[in-house]
Structure 1
Amino acid sequence: MTLRGSLDVTVDGGVQFAFAVRNDGEEPVELAFPDALEADFAVLDDGEVWRFSEGRLFAQALGSETIAPGEVATYEASWDDPDPGEYAAVATLEAREQDCEARVEFSVDGDR
């Protein structure tokens, strides 16, 4: 697989997610998106607590992006009202015919 994902989480009042997708291959990778949702983010506890795409509408326009060898595409989202707790975040690339995801554990303090 030529795509490698990493996920950074910043907790500062809300929670900010930055999903970096790197092309580790030697050829450009063309990403084709069925709509304006390029990456989705989920927060898990015992089950799913929050999902970026839940309740949102995305433009139904085909999109594309090319990631050259060694380059990184970054996708971001914010969870504005998290409850204190221990969570796992999962970011998933929503491109057709390309799989890439990343997972990271994080916590939200009670005195944020």
Structure 2
Amino acid sequence: MLDAALAAAETDDGVTLSLRIENAGPDPVTLDFRTGQRAEFTAYPADGDAADADSDRPDPVWRYGAGRMFTQALGSETIGPGETVGYEGTWRDPPAGTYRIVGEATATDRDVRAAAVVAVE
């Protein structure tokens, strides 16, 4: 069983993002990836309940992977019982506002995600 947590904090460089994935189960878990990208971070306007429902989610205002190039090589990471892996990202120069940011592992056949709300001044 994989548990995920996302931390988002405004800094001088923008919004720093940290996705932590913990294997809370008794067996090792392998994450398989199609590219060198290990996590995707997506920012949505945090406008009440609509940001919480996948079907009603507004269009994203930013995606970490948009316009970036990643190696086109298969890869994998194995997380042992009780171990944690982390993936980092930075949203540089975001416009002022409140955002719901979703961080998710880009692993195939795994739905590992977490969300956090951050206010940018």
| Matching residue within 85, 97, 108 for 1:96 | 108
Amino acid at match of 2:114: A
Residue 49 of structure 1, aligned match among 61, 69, 78: 61
**Displaced runs of 4+ in structure 1, greater than 3 A?**
none
Give the match's secondary structure for 1:40. strand
Structure (1/2) with the larger helix percentage: 2
Amino acid in structure 1 at the alignment position of 2:98? E
Structure 1 residue 10 displacement after superposition: 1.4
Aligned pairs for 1:21-40 (under 5 A) are 21-40=21-40
Structure 1 residue 47: deviation in Å? 2.6
5+ residue gaps, structure 1, are: none
Q: Deviations over 1:67-107 (max 9, x none)?
A: 00111100000011111101100001111112100011110
State the identity %: 38
Paired residue for 2:79, among 39, 47, 67? Answer: 67
RMSD: 0.8
Counterpart of 1:9 in structure 2 is 8
C-alpha distance in 1 between matches for 2:40 and 2:67? 13
Determine which structure has the larger strand proportion and give its number. Answer: 1
Q: What is aligned with 1:81?
A: 93
Which amino acid in the other structure matches residue 51 of structure 1? R
Normalized against structure 2, the TM-score is what?
A: 0.86
Between the aligned partners of 1:107 and 1:10, the Cα distance in structure 2 is 8
> What's the TM-score, normalizing by structure 1?
0.93
Inter-partner Cα distance in structure 2 for 1:99 and 1:24? 15
Number of residue equivalences: 108
